[in-house]
Amino acid sequence: MIPAICVPPITAVRGIIFDMDGVLVDSHPSHRKAWHKFLQSVGKDVSEQELDFILDGRKRHEILRHFLGELSEAELLEYGNRKDDFFQQVLTDVRSVPGVVDFVRELRRSRIPVALATSGSERRAQFTLKRLQLTRYFKAVITGNDVEEGKPDPAIYSVACQRLQVPAENVVAFEDAVSGVRAARGAGIKCVGVGQREQAQKLRQAGAEHVIENFLGVSITGLETILQKHSARQFL
């Protein structure tokens, strides 16, 4: 007689954490443009390939020091604000990721608390939420200003769980960068990657349970079903 295979049920999703760039907003092209203009303004010309450094969830001061060398705290603040000013100049090009606004609103109706965990600045995070008219939907906003180390360090996700007041095993994160997936998984959080086909394999290898291109058709019920299937495959 073949013994029955028992698949452990997935813990109910009781909290959601979103990254910002590439998850809430399709901002990477504008983000690159803003950094390029800022660096040119301080006499630093970089190639498109070199600008790839900015897209992996790093804190702003890490990016500034990478391109400009050692800087004082005052310089980091001044240059960071100047970069944000350049970003606001190109914000007309930024759109929300398809389906994400509807999904955030569904989470509100389902009484599932939502947090933002971004390596970006507090100023830019709040400006982005306000522009999308989503500020009131987010119970917590955690930025690079709130943690010592940026992603892939898991601190930002641990802080997000604390502020949501939800255990990590009941939380799902949405991330578009390998460092972000590793940060979420390091904090004990399940993670769904957001990216096009060419990025999907990297996100899965980093630990993402599933990858979506956007949020069109995504629902909390569907999300729990996906995670249940992944849990069953892992158990088998």
What type of residue sits at position 123? R
User: Quick one: average pLDDT of 153-178?
Assistant: 96
**Residues 80, 232: Cα–Cα separation, whole Å:** 45
User: Apex CA 197: angle with CA 192 and CA 202, to 5°?
Assistant: 60
Name the one residue in this structure whose structure tokens are 């600008």: 51
Report the pLDDT value the prediction gives residue 88, as an integer from 0 to 100: 78
Please state the pTM of the whole predicted model: 0.81
3-class secondary structure, 96: strand
The Cβ of residue 202 has, within 10 Å, a number of other Cβ atoms equal to 15
**Residues 104, 66: Cα–Cα separation, whole Å:** 35
Task: Identify which has the larger pLDDT, 143 or 32.
Answer: 143
In order of their start, the domains of the chain are 15-27+95-235 (3.40.50.1000), 28-93 (1.10.150.240)
Exactly one of 19, 21, 26, 176 is catalytic; which is it? 19
Question: Is 93 among the residues known to form the active site?
Answer: no
- Percent pLDDT > 70 in the chain is 90
Report the pLDDT value the prediction gives residue 158, as an integer from 0 to 100: 97
3-state SS, one letter per residue, for 132-191: CCCHHHCCEEECHHHCCCCCCCCHHHHHHHHHHCCCHHHEEEEECCHHHHHHHHHCCCEE
Q: What are the pLDDT digits (tens) for 65-121?
A: 999 999 999 988 898 888 888 877 777 667 899 999 999 999 999 999 999 999 888
**Residues 142, 119: Cα–Cα separation, whole Å:** 8
Say what angle helices 73-89 and 122-131 make with each other, to 10 degrees.
20
Q: What are the pLDDT digits (tens) for 183-222?
A: 999 999 999 999 988 889 999 999 999 999 999 999 999 9
User: Quick one: average pLDDT of 11-24?
Assistant: 92
Per-residue burial over 12-30, b if 16 or more Cβ lie within 10 Å, else e, is ebbbbbbbbbbbbbbbeeb
3-class secondary structure, 48: coil
